[in-house]
Chain A
């Protein structure tokens, strides 16, 4: 039983999967922050930032086709927002810079998710001191999002099999009934899961298991990444 959204990142286990997710997350988010905080791209930066992504992608072992497909799927949405920016007082250069930043961020996040399974990302977030409660919420959404979507699809099919009208507006009202049924199911499932958690000794104080190990390749990756990033951002090349 597979789902399109769950599986968009399961195509490949790369060498980069073995890096500690904390280092990938740290470098990835830092990259995005530095790019976004660069006021105006110099030519070096305009070429350098994308180059850093491509170098990281090449070193990670990700199949470039996967990254490209992922990237091209997301870009149109950013472009759409960009179109509205044409109604502003931005110069062409500023507009391109804005889109360039959007592209860098999307590419960086895509690469991060292609090299890091979501559960690993959650462990990294927890050990980087994101509140445990929030991490558990994220974990549960990841776990049950697909399950509840299937429930919704079943409900929708049952409804569609008995609905013969064509007026689209009615379907929005019917969505309301489907969601109400889904909500009740979700709530009841939450109660059963709670019972299952208690049956295995759950109490809110328990901590998780430490499973991450920061290794030598992580140190090289982080140091190398930071150095290159600093070079592109602040280096004087002339």
Chain B
């Protein structure tokens, strides 16, 4: 799902760089306040954990192999801000070391996989944990977190590509979202299994204390959605102040 450079129009990638950059800056402050001196080793090593997890090849039917993304898992385990920071760190390193995803497109990729993927994953996990009952609720909450976060992340990716007129809306939404809805099932299975296994062996490491969806979480989400909506409207309006500023029109 990493978007390379060149595919997004300047309106889209510049505005998303600003949005993601701001959210990341905010996330850094939150993480530093929450973990204090432990923040560096903890976030650093856990980012390495997500990174290592993504490198593992799993066979998918027919001889190809797939990879685990981990956005939903990061959010469920670490909470929204730490999840965002961890995924952003992974994406930045992948961009530089492997050219996986473009440099200018980092804002878009962080939004998709970090904000929607991880913060969304945290939200879905908490909500599901609050709403579900029974022995397997951790697994199903994790499954939902993994699957939904992947589908929505793919949706955002598709929207960005459509706004940049790289894909037609119908093809974009059906193809990109459709494929990831299927792939997301695997992501969901892994996410659910990890969370179930951890809550059995090391429940102290899972954020089970935040299992209720609060009004404050809802408000945070309203604000984030408003920002995204504004960015999308801004990106598709003309005349475009950003492009004017850059002397392109």
Contacts and interface: CB of A to CB of B under 8 A. Distances in A.
Check A-B contact in the complex, CB < 8 A.
Answer: yes
Nearest to B10: A37
Interface residues of B, number: 77
A151 B52 contact: yes
A82 B3 CA distance: 10
Contact of B205 (A9, A82, A141, A187): A187
B3 to A, nearest CB: 7
A141 B52 CA distance: 9
Given A81-B4, A88-B171, A102 B189 contact: no
A145 interface: yes
B48 interface: yes
A142 B45 contact: no
A32 to B, nearest CB: 6
Given A140-B45, A144-B44, A81 B3 contact: yes
Interface in A104-128: 104-106, 109-110, 112-113, 118, 121
A165 B195 CA distance: 24
B4 A105 contact: yes
B60 A168 contact: yes
- Label chain A's interface by main secondary structure: helix
B7 A81 contact: yes
Interface stretch (A53-61, A178-186, A207-215): A178-186
Given A106-B5, A190-B42, A87 B55 contact: no
B146 to A, nearest CB: 10
The secondary structure that dominates the B interface is helix
Interface residues of A, number: 82
A186 B5 contact: no
Contacts of B3: 81
A113 B90 CA distance: 17
Interface string B167-189: 11001100110000000001001
A222 interface: no
Nearest to A204: B37
Contacts of A88: 165-168, 171
Contacts of B59: 168, 171
Contacts of A171: 58-59
Interface in A57-97: 70, 74, 77-78, 81-82, 84-85, 87-90
B35 to A, nearest CB: 10
B246 interface: yes
Interface stretch (B93-101, B124-132, B221-229): B93-101
Interface string B60-82: 11000000100001000100000
B38 A85 contact: no
A187 B77 CA distance: 12
B163 to A, nearest CB: 12
B211 interface: no
B86 to A, nearest CB: 8
Interface stretch (B113-121, B148-156, B196-204, B212-220): B196-204
11 contacts: A36-B13, A90-B166, A98-B166, A106-B5, A133-B40, A137-B89, A140-B47, A149-B51, A152-B55, A156-B56, A194-B42
Interface of A: 5, 8-9, 29, 32-33, 36-37, 39, 70, 74, 77-78, 81-82, 84-85, 87-90, 98-106, 109-110, 112-113, 118, 121, 131, 133-134, 136-145, 147-149, 151-152, 156, 168-169, 171-173, 175-184, 186-187, 189-191, 193-194, 197-198, 202-204
Ranked nearest first, the 3 interchain pairs of A and B with the lowest CB-CB distance are: A140-B44, A176-B193, A101-B6
